[in-house]
Amino acid sequence: MVALRVTGGNGVPVNGVTAVTMDVTVTAPTSSGFLSVEPQGGWARDATSNLNWVAGLTVPNLVVVPSGDNMVRLLNSGSGTVHVVADLYGYYTG
């Protein structure tokens, strides 16, 4: 699990952000698996898949996720390792 701060930098305000839009890519996976992208803090892991892959396959996906505690969590539910690239495209405010 990796926690990634999504507010307070690169033009994204620190306060008032309710969700973010991200392009998340997995590359160089050593086994099949899936990645979950979810808000940080106060949320139970529900094992919802945002990306599915097989060993050796690079897969991107656009996700919209609430920005819990100004952070999101990236969870590898595969049995091997994987590299993850996350590009923040935009944000929503209340």
Q: What is the pLDDT of residues 53-83, one digit of tens each?
A: 999 999 999 999 998 889 999 999 989 999 9
Q: Which domain does 76 fall in, by range?
A: 2-93
Q: What is the pLDDT of residues 13-60, one digit of tens each?
A: 999 999 999 999 999 999 999 999 999 875 556 668 899 999 999 999
d(CA 93, CA 17): 5
d(CA 76, CA 16): 28
- Tokens (6 digits) for 85: 């690239």
Q: How many domains does the chain have?
A: 1
State the pTM of this model. 0.87
Task: Assign 71 to helix, strand or coil.
Answer: strand
State the pLDDT confidence band at 85, using cuts at 50, 70 and 90. Answer: very high
d(CA 27, CA 49): 16
